[in-house]
Each structure stands twice: as structure tokens, then as C-alpha cells.
Amino acid sequence: MKGYFTLVFCLLFCFPPILASAKETKAHVLLNAETLQHVCWYQDKKYSEGAIIEVGSTLLICAIKNKNQPNSQLGWFQLDDKGNVMYPKKPSKITVN
């Protein structure tokens, strides 16, 4: 019976401090740099910012979606006759129904 109490005592009071002092391991995160690039996709090909393609008779340019955010995602936008990007017009007022 004395051996049983000794075993219980060791399990409850001796081993937890040993387990708590174990070294923590740090996780290493590896990223593929190619997946972090902003690109436009067309027919399973990726294009970088500034790329111009012709679809039918329309010229499209790969440009940032939000012109006020330089690190924005890229998207295809139509070019006007002078070569300027034609961003979609946003409503000037917000209405709530």
C-alpha cells in the first residue's frame, strides 16, 4: 500500500514540473514567392501589371483594381482611344432602401 501512495505522489507532484519544462518548438512557415505575385489571368496564362492584350477588337490592360491602393489586386480593364485605363464608374451617393 505504501508503494501505491508513493506512485500516486510521484505522478501528481513530480512529473508535471518535468513536463512543463519541456522545450517549445517554433513552427517555420515556408511560402512560395510565386503565389504571392499579383497577376491577371487570361486563357490559363498569367500576365503581369501593364500587360496589354487584344480580345476581339477591344484592348485590355492588366491594372490595379483600386487606383487609390497601390498594393491592390489586379484585373483586366478596357483602354480608351488615348490609351488610358477606363475604370468602372462608382455611384456618387450611397442609398439605403
8 A C-beta contact, residue 40 and residue 51: yes
What pLDDT is recorded for position 14? 61
Percentage of the chain lying above the pLDDT 70 cut: 65
CA dist., res. 24 & res. 26, Å (int) = 7
48-66, pLDDT tens digit by residue? 888 999 998 889 999 888 8
Per-residue pLDDT, 6: 67
Confidence (pLDDT) at 18: 54
Q: Which residue has the higher pLDDT, 21 or 43?
A: 43
Averaged over 29-49, what is the pLDDT? 79
Across residues 1-10, what is the average pLDDT? 63
Q: What is the DSSP letter of 34?
A: G
